[in-house]
Amino acid sequence: MLSYYLALEFSGEKVEQRNPLSFSPWRFIGISAGIVSLSMMLLPIVNYFGMSLLDDIEQLPTRVQNFRMEESQCTCCSNNHKDPQTGLKVMCDRELVYQSLKDIYHGGEGEGGEELEQFNQLVRKTLGPKVLWRAGARATFLPLRYVTCIVM
């Protein structure tokens, strides 16, 4: 049905001038075949990216449960604390984040040390369930792959 309307639209005739008797069935078949061919070429690509997204969503609960700030990566450490374009030395992002957490949890005083674990627990217990709910990772008891196959 969709291909019929698209074929009519792309036929080049104006709506007012369309006469059902003068419409060429070969042109309609050609346009419909083009639309179907394009759909068949794009479907595997869309499915590939969709399955990749589902894999990421399936791994999300495990990643949230095992979240540790200490294991996160930062750009400065990955580039040996140098700007990739200029080669100049840059400050460490990790140290800035750790100092900010210390300021938040201890007012910037004392040695601390447990602020990282407090932040990890905050992410796991408060932020994690909200992210999982929004992503749909907790919306079903079945794995998302099965739900997707059922719907398709």
Which residues, including other chains, have CB under 8 Å from residue 101's CB and lie 6 or more apart?
69, 115, 116, 118, 119
pTM above 0.75, yes or no: no
Handedness of CA 59, 61, 63, 66 (dihedral sign): negative
Handedness of CA 117, 135, 55, 46 (dihedral sign): negative
Beta strands in 14-69 (DSSP E): none
Taking only the tens place, the pLDDT of each residue in 60-107 is 888 888 989 888 888 888 888 888 888 899 888 888 888 888 888 876
What 3-state class would DSSP assign to 54? helix
Using alpha carbons, select from 121, 134, 141, 149 the residue that is nearest to residue 57.
Answer: 134
pLDDT attached to residue 144: 59
What whole-number distance in Å separates Cα of residue 7 and Cα of residue 33?
10
Taking only the tens place, the pLDDT of each residue in 5-22 is 655 566 555 555 555 555
Q: Which amino acid is at 98?
A: Y
β-strand partners of 89: 82
What whole-number distance in Å separates Cα of residue 114 and Cα of residue 11?
69
Which residue is listed with tokens 């008891």?
A: 141
Mean pLDDT of all residues in 131-137: 74
pLDDT at 140 over 60: no
What whole-number distance in Å separates Cα of residue 61 and Cα of residue 71?
17
For residues 35 and 7, the answer to whether their CB atoms sit within 8 Å is yes
